[in-house]
């Protein structure tokens, strides 16, 4: 048995279904073995960076290990941004890279690069394996590290000769790790429950760590009667019309959320699954924790006390913690007060052809369960501020790490993880020109994803940032408009181009249905200042 076959047998034993990447010389042995393993499907992408985002999104929504592979040298370095993204989002992704034969190291072999040190700062574990007898052991060790404790990416470099070596004996496969939730200390939970019982008022500040347990967070809020504020990354987790939803605080957030935080009300702040980073806290707004008792729940204890003093840190999964607190509060006599959802959101003045109105009208025609994977650009701030959360789990916004083009690939990884959920990627022309060829990957795998491209023929966030900060914007931030719908049509992908509000109608969406992907281009230059919240004030006052 080849050493690389033992690795694939191990991954198969753990239920790995997809491996994202691009075949090349130093990993061809790996791909060759897949002929004999129909249980594992290779997803061949157009760029290694895109493969890394797909694997991360798949890990996020399948709640399992994502696996990504690339060749040595440039293929490996193209994965590094995706590894940094997965590290920031605490996503368990196994990055496998090829490497030159061990006996050619240091001889300037083709595509030679020692990438283990390159991956080290952006992974939990990075190693280059020099012996075929150790390959399976190291991969199993890496997977264990990826799934244990605070989940995160890992990397294993596999020299081509190590992959091809025949093992003297068929190895016994190591037990595949089972991810277990981090259970908080019972004494700490008792202290939290007691404080919540005695607290007269407070807010729940929810980050993306509440994913998968949104209903528990809502029930906890209903027992306490406290408003829920979400970070931009957590938009999509609390329905907009819930009476206790105060919307988003942080980048592009809502006035109601800012008013609550900046007021003297709310003596307790219960932080659930947020590391309290820059975009989540409106540039580390001091009022968030000012004169408040701060309880912070997170699986990663290193987030406590970074910028804000935490009175009561709780190390544990939000789901386990929330469930335990609900039971303890009920034992204290708390009862859930049911309240009517607030009325349907007002979509007044939808006639003007602008970004806000286009996005709101888009939601009117797509299923309420649609997951929107949102790329990086000025449109992102409109999504955060204006689009409704109609069901939980309906937005994926990666403003945390902010890699342009990642939203395109996230849509593909999400769709493979949850095939029944409708998915729409919202991206811009700048992002599209980085990773738009992944539309072909969606086509080749017959994935019914709607790609919405906001095309303003410029780097919109850069344009507005420079205009606010320096009162001018370089003309090279713009370009001659390109018909992206025509590009999609040339790729054999259903497409349509919108140039005014009247173009957005039921007939339009009926033409964009089918088994594979479709592209909707929104040709629109919107000179309104995006709703970036306090970020606008910061940029406008820069240098004063």
Residue 181 lies in a domain: no
**Do 327 and 360 fall into the same domain?**
no
pLDDT band at 456 (very low <50, low <70, confident <90, very high): confident
Q: What is the CATH number of the domain that holds 263?
A: 3.40.50.1220
The most confident of the ranges 52-56, 99-103, 338-342 is 52-56
- Of the listed ranges 192-201, 407-416, 519-528, the least confidently predicted one is 519-528
- Does residue 531 sit in the same domain as residue 393? yes
Is there a single domain that holds both residue 384 and residue 475? yes
CA dist., res. 454 & res. 431, Å (int): 10
Among 219-233, 317-331, 359-373, 518-532, the range scoring the smallest mean pLDDT is: 518-532
Any domain includes 134 = yes
Residue ranges making up the domain that contains 533: 355-540
- Is 380 in the same domain as 499? yes
Number of domains in the chain: 3
Average pLDDT estimate for 358-385: 95
Q: Rounded distance, CA 365 to CA 449, Å?
A: 15
Identify whether residues 16 and 122 lie together within a single domain.
yes
Pairing between β-strand 312-315 and β-strand 293-298 as defined by DSSP bridges: parallel
For position 170, what pLDDT does the model report?
85
Region 148-159: what's the mean pLDDT?
A: 97
157, pLDDT greater than 70 = yes
Domain-ending residue, one of 131, 164, 197: 164
Burial label for 187, CB within 10 Å (0-12, 13-18, 19+), is exposed
Are 407 and 472 within one domain? yes
pLDDT tier at 338, thresholds 50, 70, 90: low
**Is the pLDDT at 11 greater than 90, yes or no?**
yes
CA angle at residue 396 from 393 to 400, to 5 degrees? 130
Element counts in the chain: helices (H) and strands (E): 21, 18
| 257 located within any domain | yes
Domain check: are 467 and 408 in the same one?
Answer: yes
Asked whether residue 253 falls in the same domain as residue 157, the answer is: no
398 and 536 together in one domain:
yes
Euclidean distance between CA atoms 404 and 411, whole angstroms = 14
Domain assignment present for 145: yes
How sure is the predictor about 461, in pLDDT bands with cuts at 50, 70 and 90?
A: low
Task: Give yes or no for residue 41 having a pLDDT over 80.
Answer: yes
Instruction: Give the mean pLDDT of the chain.
Output: 92
Both 200 and 323 in one domain: the answer is: yes
> Residue 179: pLDDT band by 50, 70, 90 thresholds?
confident
Asked whether residue 173 is domain-assigned, the answer is no
In a domain, 170, yes or no: no
Token pair of 53 as six digits: 């985002």
**What pLDDT shows up at residue 523?**
95
Tokens 């157009």 — which residue? 46
343 lies in a domain? no
Q: Round to whole Å and give the CA distance between 394 and 313.
A: 29
> Do 90 and 191 have their domain in common?
no
Q: Is residue 317 part of a domain?
A: yes
pLDDT band at 504 (very low <50, low <70, confident <90, very high): very high
Q: What is the CATH number of the domain that holds 403?
A: 3.40.50.970
Q: Pick from 133, 164, 195: which residue ends a domain?
A: 164
- pTM for the complete prediction? 0.93
Residue 259 CB partners (closer than 8 Å, separation 6+): none
425 and 531 fall within a common domain: yes
Residue 193 in 3-state DSSP?
Answer: helix
């Amino acid at each position: 048995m080849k050493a690389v076959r033992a690795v694939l047998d191990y991954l198969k034993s753990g239920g790995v279904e997809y491996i994202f990447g691009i075949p090349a010389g130093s990993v061809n042995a790996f791909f060759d073995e897949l002929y004999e393993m129909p249980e594992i499907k290779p997803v061949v992408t157009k760029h290694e960076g895109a493969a890394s985002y797909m694997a991360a999104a798949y890990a996020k929504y399948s709640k399992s290990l994502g696996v990504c592979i690339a060749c040595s040298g440039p293929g490996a370095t193209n994965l590094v941004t995706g590894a940094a993204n997965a590290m920031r989002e605490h996503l368990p992704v196994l990055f496998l890279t090829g490497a030159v034969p061990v006996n050619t190291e240091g001889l300037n072999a083709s595509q030679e690069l020692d990438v283990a040190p390159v991956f080290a700062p952006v992974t939990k574990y990075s190693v280059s394996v020099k012996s075929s007898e150790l390959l399976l052991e190291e991969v199993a060790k890496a997977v264990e590290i990826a799934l244990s404790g605070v989940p995160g990416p890992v990397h294993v470099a596999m020299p081509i000769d190590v992959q091809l070596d025949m093992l003297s004996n068929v190895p016994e496969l190591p037990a595949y790790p089972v991810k277990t939730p981090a259970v908080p200390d019972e004494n700490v939970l008792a202290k939290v429950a007691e404080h919540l019982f005695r607290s007269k008022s407070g807010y729940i500040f929810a980050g993306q760590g509440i994913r998968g347990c949104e209903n528990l967070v809502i029930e906890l809020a209903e027992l306490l009667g406290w408003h829920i504020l979400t970070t931009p990354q957590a938009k999509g987790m609390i329905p907009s019309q819930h009476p206790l939803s105060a919307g988003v605080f942080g980048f592009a957030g809502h006035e109601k959320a800012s008013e609550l935080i900046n007021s003297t009300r709310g003596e307790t702040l219960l932080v659930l699954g947020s590391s309290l980073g820059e975009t989540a806290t409106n540039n580390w707004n001091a009022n968030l924790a000012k004169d408040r008792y701060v309880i912070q729940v997170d699986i990663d204890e290193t987030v406590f006390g970074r910028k804000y003093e935490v009175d009561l840190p709780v190390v544990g999964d939000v789901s386990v913690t929330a469930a335990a607190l609900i039971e303890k509060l009920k034992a204290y006599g708390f009862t859930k007060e049911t309240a009517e959802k607030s009325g349907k959101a007002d979509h007044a003045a939808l006639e003007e052809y602008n970004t806000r109105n286009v996005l709101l009208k888009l939601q009117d025609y797509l299923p309420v369960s649609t997951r929107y994977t949102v790329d990086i650009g000025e449109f992102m701030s409109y999504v955060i501020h204006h689009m409704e959360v109609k069901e939980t789990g309906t937005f994926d916004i990666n403003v945390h790490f902010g890699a342009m083009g990642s939203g395109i690939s996230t849509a593909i990884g999400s769709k493979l993880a949850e095939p029944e959920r409708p998915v729409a990627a919202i991206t811009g022309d700048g992002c599209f020109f980085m990773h738009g060829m992944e539309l072909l990957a969606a086509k080749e795998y017959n994935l019914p994803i709607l790609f919405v491209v906001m095309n303003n023929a410029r780097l919109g966030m850069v344009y507005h940032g420079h205009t606010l900060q320096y009162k001018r914007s370089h003309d090279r931030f713009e370009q001659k408009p390109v018909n992206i719908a025509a590009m999609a049509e040339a790729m054999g992908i259903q497409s349509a181009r919108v140039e005014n509000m009247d173009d957005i109608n039921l007939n339009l969406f009926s033409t964009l249905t089918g088994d594979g992907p479709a592209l909707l281009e929104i040709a629109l230059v919107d000179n309104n200042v995006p709703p970036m919240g306090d970020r606008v004030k910061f940029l406008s006052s820069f240098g004063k």
